[in-house]
A and B are shown apart, each in its own frame.
Chain A
């Protein structure tokens, strides 16, 4: 088992490394999109030069030969894609020409920067010249908080409804729940959040129609801003958990060991609480862990529609057409990669721990 975990951990590192490498190389095949304003562009490119992704040539404004050379460079291939000319900034009298170094070299430098200094570069578009890593890590608590709240909201209800449905199987309670479940599972979160926004936000005006700006609004107002996204993400999750638990519990309820428990002299209630419910909950654990990762990486839509300034929204901003912010994209790729991989590992491990009959990776 320890062997298996160690193997998997090594693999996580390898996979993450491979993923990020591929992402880096593919993104760098496309043209660069530095900040648009000249002085910001100067700062950003100089930073990139200091980090080792660009080479710098300096041409003096007062030297006619230099100016001629700058004009020549302007006509070269790759201007504004991999070669950038920065006009004199403020009191400076020099034109700076930045050229991107070959991808492989960039990659090695990038690796060195990340591993030795934890330097993920600076943002070029989302928040110009801010550290890309802090841009994501600043938003991270909000996204995590939102998803934890969703988790706290949906697990108790999911368990409650699942148990109710299974214990009342094939009665009107169960039938009604089946209808509601299929409705909520089928309703896409996008549709759901839009409808909630219209009804609760715009029509009834009970809740803010968009996520309140944290710096400006009171704590109560901000807290009320969580309600719509938590409901929108939580209700489909409740429906999913209810359905699974109902299926699992109704199977356990007909199993031999429950009959044995009753034969031993336990009442129906004792048998259900001590044996059936406990046993049926065990397989839910991996599913809940998996759902957390799913919620986290699926919160783009919610964050976009409800304008929540979370990780997903920043990532989408970094992906705005023609305004790509590669450094921010790299950080968010790493972020989502780590979350996905760790979740898969934990889910796999929990399968094995819970049910020893399943041995992942066994030979034929």
Chain B
């Protein structure tokens, strides 16, 4: 400002020219209006964003609107009910029936016409869908009563000379009775000795020549052999002993039993048959542990198994026989006015009566009267409605089924999602703030500062995450706080890296140079000039990071490092439960073997949809905020 110029030397260039520019007719758009336009251009992304919004709203409102007994209390009777959806159930899918496979059939139920049988243990006939019933025969070696037939093999082990087994029950032989042995095969070496032992304790016998043992006979050929008749009444345990002349060299010598029968001498009828299962449960009877040992195996036994669909809801919620006391009975009558008037007594049995439909009790089948100390106590045997006893007005629709604890999976999933989302947003907010400050400082100053700060993040970030998880778990134990630390301890590094890269990109720009030339402070250049330019990239990057935070939470909870089933956390008005998608998936994975696949499939689908919509939303946001980045990353 040292030199002064005369103002008259200067004149305005366009002072006398006529301006031909037209004023702008179109409305000017701000940056965000422009972004909004670009955002709504892609219909798929808009749909995805709407679905995402619906999911977020569901996660907030579903748990609020559902009575807490559906997701807080454990009810073992409602455990693992399959999904049942209105309308869809009429099409035969998701109708509340569950496919059971490999269920052992009760042999008494086998229909002679179709040859099909069904299990009775734990299943009721009327709820089995007989159009889906299929039977299959499996051959097994299990010593189980569900397997029938087959043979039993008695081996002598290598370098031993004999092996013996003893029956678990006492048998009686009257005078003239005899034992018939039916062998499938008998090796050339050795002999089968059949004894009757008064005791089944090896310690009370001196040896095989002990006089307490009664040798009934010996067998050395395959096929049917009748042993000599006994002289008088003999009681004892039946002992089958395979004796070799010399120690077995291969250990593969075996007697294959078909049947051992006790036959009455008078009538010629068999009084007791040992075959299949009851023969296979004979136990080892070793008197000399040095020379005796063997193997006793069952072979070729058959079991019929059935697969069928079973209507779980009907089975659970229809009438069930129960015994209730007088007070409970009277209470039910009092709770349902008009019920007592509908009683129709069975003309043949004064102790049985029925009610009209629509009441908790449909019929009383019997009345027990007990008189104790002059007072009469009455127990009613009733057909009690399953809905009533479980506290439902109508048969409920659990559209995603229930989990092992009898909780409604649908509510649990939204409950878990709420936890995951909240954690995701909180952690992301934390990450973005720390990340921007760190990255901006590091990149702007560059050189030594950058080197130091980068090395710090290197050290910090090179903490293997599993080690960090370990340290936190060991020091403060699993829980919300631990989970939050896992998610943010290195989560901000990502945001810092993006910020740093963006700053490197812009800090050499002419406008930054200009700003510095004009004397702007570092803080002003960082926050006023560079950050707004870089913000679009940083924000979209961070939004895209939310799903990965949620995903990390799911993984950690799945591995058991996060929140557990029992925990709760209160954040102001919001109370979070310990349920998270990861916990649900972990519980569900243990149910895969039992065939309760919906416990994995539904939460997995919800997580997948959440991730997909979140990613599409993030991409749409990126395209809208930074059109030049469209299609990359």
Contacts and interface: CB of A to CB of B under 8 A. Distances in A.
A192 B462 CA distance: 27
Contact of A333 (B464, B555, B593, B611): B464
Contact of A23 (B467, B507, B559): B467
B612 interface: yes
A39 B417 CA distance: 47
Contact of A250 (B459, B631, B633): B631
Contacts, number: 146
Contacts of B86: none
A337 B474 contact: no
Contact of B607 (A188, A301, A337): A188
A49 B535 CA distance: 57
A362 interface: yes
A30 B451 contact: no
Interface string B536-554: 0000000000010001001
Interface stretch (B208-216, B260-268, B332-340, B440-448): B440-448
Nearest to A326: B474
Contact of A315 (B445, B466, B547, B612): B466
Contacts of A246: 631
Contact of B555 (A190, A318, A335): A190
Contacts of A197: 592
Contacts of B619: 182
A129 interface: no
A188 B551 contact: yes
A190 B554 contact: yes
B600 interface: yes
A344 interface: yes
A304 interface: yes
Contact of A186 (B458, B467, B554, B612): B612
B589 A186 contact: no
Contacts of B228: none
A315 B458 CA distance: 23
B455 A15 contact: yes
B416 to A, nearest CB: 14
B462 A182 contact: no
A81 interface: no
A19 B612 contact: no
B87 interface: no
A27 B466 contact: no
A191 B607 contact: yes
B511 to A, nearest CB: 15
A350 interface: no
A329 interface: yes
Contacts of B601: 195, 198
A332 B465 CA distance: 11
A324 interface: yes
A155 interface: no
A19 B463 contact: yes
A197 B561 CA distance: 23
Interface residues of B, number: 52
Contact of A319 (B462, B463, B469): B469
Interface residues of A, number: 57
A361 B451 contact: yes
B558 interface: yes
B604 A324 contact: no
A26 B475 contact: yes
A333 B612 contact: no
A267 interface: no
Contacts of B451: 361
A137 interface: no
Interface in A327-341: 329, 332-333, 335-337, 340-341
Contacts of A15: 455, 458-459, 462
A230 B249 CA distance: 48
B472 to A, nearest CB: 9
B615 to A, nearest CB: 5
Contact of B471 (A26, A186, A244, A344): A26
Contacts of B81: none
B474 A30 contact: yes
Contacts of A244: 632-633
28 contacts: A11-B458, A26-B475, A182-B612, A182-B615, A186-B611, A190-B555, A190-B558, A190-B585, A191-B585, A191-B604, A191-B608, A194-B592, A198-B592, A202-B597, A251-B632, A297-B466, A300-B555, A305-B589, A316-B559, A319-B470, A324-B470, A333-B467, A337-B464, A337-B467, A341-B462, A361-B454, A364-B444, A364-B446
Interface of A: 11, 15-16, 18-19, 22-23, 26-27, 29-30, 182-183, 185-188, 190-191, 194-195, 197-198, 202, 209, 243-244, 246-248, 250-251, 297, 300-301, 304-305, 312, 315-316, 318-319, 321, 324, 329, 332-333, 335-337, 340-341, 344, 361-364
Interface of B: 444-447, 450-451, 454-455, 458-459, 461-467, 469-471, 473-475, 478, 507, 547, 551, 554-555, 558-561, 585, 589, 592-593, 597, 600-601, 604, 607-608, 611-612, 614-616, 619, 631-633
Given A202-B597, A337-B462, 13 more contacts: A11-B458, A18-B459, A188-B551, A191-B585, A297-B465, A300-B466, A300-B559, A316-B559, A332-B467, A336-B467, A337-B463, A363-B446, A364-B507
